[in-house]
Amino acid sequence: MPTEQQIATHRKAQTAAKAVLDSLPGSITANDSEQSIARKAHDMLSALGYPETWYYHCPALVLLGSRSCLSISGKDYQPGNEKVGKSNLITIDLSPINDDYWGDCARSFPFENGKVTAKPTLLEFKNGIHFIEQLQQKMLRIAHSEMSFGQLFDWANVRIRESGFVNLDYRNNVGHSIAISREDRQFIQTNNAIKLGDAPFFSFEPFVRLKGGSWGFKHEDIFFFNQAGVLEKL
């Protein structure tokens, strides 16, 4: 169980990431690319006091267009120059750090008629966004401190498969613990017996595509168990 100081300091980093993901979409145009969006995101994080990242040298991992379903480590990621165009799906994953305190937050944004929209008309956009948001809400209700990382993975993977989606993650996981060192992360993957309650914080970030679909969707937040043992979103 994390301390109040750990919660407060991690929350500051996570709040900065959320603030960028709230405001950045309004500035995205059809002429933007992964490169320009990643640059805007980093500039905004820096202005909030978070110029550094814990994720290799990748403060903002942006995927769109032909790379929408690409799962890649930040160690190998290089933003592309493909234009957003008239219709697209833009996924932005931010990883700010201050001292040893991480933020880790991702969202997928439907882009239609030259702008990001909260009410897409494309059915695949509607279904994908709805599914990943609902999966987060269901996870909050069923996860408990004695559940293992492996059990949470199995639960999520069944929901992904039964709902007609595919897990795109190159590590075949749906999240990880929030650690001091990148190498110390524990992944939410099958057969990992570590209990959720043994990790002060963990992310939940399924990256999915509808079977036969063209677009990859992600929705990531950080979670922790409070003093009452109830799971909370950071």
Around Cβ 146, how many Cβ atoms within 10 Å?
11
pLDDT band at 181 (very low <50, low <70, confident <90, very high): confident
Beta strands in 115-212 (DSSP E): 115-116, 165-167, 175-177, 202-204, 207-210
- Kindly list the strands in the beta sheet with 165-167, ordered across the sheet, starting from the edge strand earlier in the chain: 165-167, 207-210, 216-218
What is the three-class DSSP state of 116? Answer: strand
- The whole-angstrom separation of Cα 92 and Cα 67 is 12
pLDDT tens for each residue of 147-176 = 999 999 999 999 999 999 999 998 889 999
Domains in the chain: ranges and CATH: 4-233 (3.90.230.10)
Contact between 53 and 59 (Cβ < 8 Å): yes
Among 141, 139, 165, 163, which residue's Cα sits nearest to residue 152?
139
Contact between 114 and 25 (Cβ < 8 Å): no
What is the three-class DSSP state of 220? Answer: strand
Q: How far apart are the first and last CA of the chain?
A: 13
Q: Give yes or no for residue 40 having a pLDDT over 90.
A: yes
pLDDT tens for each residue of 49-80 = 999 999 999 999 999 999 999 999 989 999 99
Burial class (CB in 10 A: 0-12, 13-18, 19+), 32: buried
* pLDDT on residue 1: 81
pLDDT tens for each residue of 108-150 = 999 999 999 999 999 999 999 999 999 999 999 999 999 999 9
